[in-house]
Structure 1
Amino acid sequence: QVPSTTEISTGYQINPATVLKGMNLLVSEQVLEKRRGLGTFVAEGARKIILSKKQNEFANQMVPNFLKEAQALGITKEELVKIIEGGFLK
């Protein structure tokens, strides 16, 4: 179960409307689910949904910028592969 909108807004000194908007967004993305009379809970599979969204964001936003910067610096594909492999081995 997640804390109530009031608990979150008080604890973090955030406008309650902002908290409600964020929680409703998470409900619409099926990360949270509201149970009438019980409260709001983390949905089953929420971690998978969030991870998938972050992976897509990485592939569609960060990787193209990374590749563009590497090209601007004159880094070859082979050099880039070595850099990446080196980073995974650390």
Structure 2
Amino acid sequence: KIPSTNEISALLNINPHTVLKGMNMLVDEEIIYKKRGLGMYVKGGAVKKIRQKRQSQFYNQYVAALIEEASKLQMTKEDVIKLIERGYEDGLNSD
């Protein structure tokens, strides 16, 4: 069960209407659902759905831009892969 709109509002010190708007967005995206008289709950598969959406956003924001910039610099796919591998070797990843 998700805390109520008023509980979240008090916890984060934000307007209850802002919380309600955010919760309604999550309902529209089928991340949470309402049980009349009982509250809001996280829908099954929500984590997977959020992860897929974030991966898509990651591609659109970062990978596409990386490829575009690499192309402008006349870098090959192999050059880009080497740079990414170097980043992992230098400890830039969080694993």
- TM-score, normalised with respect to structure 2: 0.81
Q: Any residues of structure 2 matched to 1:39-50 within 5 Å, and which?
A: 39-50=39-50
Secondary structure of 2:30's counterpart equals coil
**Identity of matched residues, %:** 50
CA distance in 1, matches of 2:59, 2:45: 21
> Which residue number corresponds to residue 23 of structure 2?
23
Count of matched residue pairs: 90
**Greater CA drift, 60-69 or 49-58:** 60-69
Letter aligned with residue 18 of structure 1: T
Secondary structure of 1:8's counterpart equals helix
Structure 1, unaligned runs of 5 or more: none
Q: Kindly provide the CA deviation profile for residues 19-48 of structure 1, in whole angstroms up to 9, marking residues without a partner as x.
A: 000000001101001111211011100001
Compute the displacement of 1:65 (Å). 1.4
Q: Kindly provide the CA deviation profile for residues 28-77 of structure 1, in whole angstroms up to 9, marking residues without a partner as x.
A: 10100111121101110000110111111112222111223333445432
- TM-score, normalised with respect to structure 1: 0.85
Structure 2, unaligned runs of 5 or more: none
Letter aligned with residue 19 of structure 1: V
Q: Any residues of structure 2 matched to 1:33-72 within 5 Å, and which?
A: 33-72=33-72
What value does the CA root-mean-square deviation take over the aligned residues?
1.7
Secondary structure of 2:41's counterpart equals strand
> Which residue number corresponds to residue 77 of structure 1?
77
